[in-house]
Amino acid sequence: MKNRLKVLRAERDWSQAELAGRLDVSRQAVNAIETGKHDPSLPLAFRIARLFGLRIEDIFIDDGDTP
Amino acid sequence: MKNRLKVLRAERDWSQAELAGRLDVSRQAVNAIETGKHDPSLPLAFRIARLFGLRIEDIFIDDGDTP
DNA sequence: TGACTATGTCAAGCGCACCTGACATTTTGT
DNA sequence: ACAAAATGTCAGGTGCGCTTGACATAGTCA
């Protein structure tokens, strides 16, 4: 599962800490998602999509590596 | 987080077991999601959306009870 | 009536999502 | 060059998503 978080964050010139604050999660959680260490929960994915005004499918790319 | 799984399943006349098979998860996992006991992971949400040919936002409704 | 299907639910266990706190490294700005 | 900010990462802990296996209940059908 890839994602465009880093780009969307850069477009707004936000730090990982600032994004974390807006999403109400820890900075480490944002970092782990950006660096592909784990996928967000569905509720967090909804918060992310709402924050950026996009659909979940426009931010997260299911690479289907879950056979 | 509410969802329309039960309706979508009924439209296709699938049992929970059959849906579980198509999603490659356990029947109990499908039941727990339908009955609101827990939310699916993001990868599973993608599989569900792809199976029904819909967007995640068209199946799962974020009621924002995660402040 | 008795077999079969569908649904709901419980228990125990595993792995991941997320947490706090801490530290090292890289980048930025004066 | 130096300080501050940003990023990456580790350790230890909590809770949830999902598993297998089992059982109870209700509905359908020969």
* A15-44 pLDDT per residue, tens: 999 999 999 999 999 999 999 999 999 999
Which of A24, A41, A55 has its CB closest to that of B55? Answer: A55
**With left for phi above 0 and alpha for psi between -120 and 50, is residue A4 left, alpha or beta?**
alpha
Which of B33, B56, B57, B58 is the mutation pick for testing A, counting most A CBs within 10 A?
B56
| Domain boundary assignment for chain B | 2-62
User: What single-letter amino acid sits at B9?
Assistant: R
Q: DSSP alpha helices (H): ranges in B1-67?
A: 5-12, 16-23, 27-34, 42-52, 56-59
Lowest mean pLDDT among A58-67, B15-24, B38-47: A58-67
Half-sphere exposure of A45 (CA within 13 A, CB side): 30
pTM over 0.75: yes
CATH topology for B2-62? Answer: 434 Repressor (Amino-terminal Domain) (1.10.260)
Contacts A–B by Cβ distance under 8 A:
53
Q: Are B33 and B26 in contact (CB under 8 A)?
A: no
What percent of chain B lies above the pLDDT cut of 90? 91
Asked if residue B15 keeps its beta carbon closer than 7 A to nucleic acid strand D, the reply is no
> How far is Cα B6 from Cα B34, in angstroms, rounded to an integer?
6
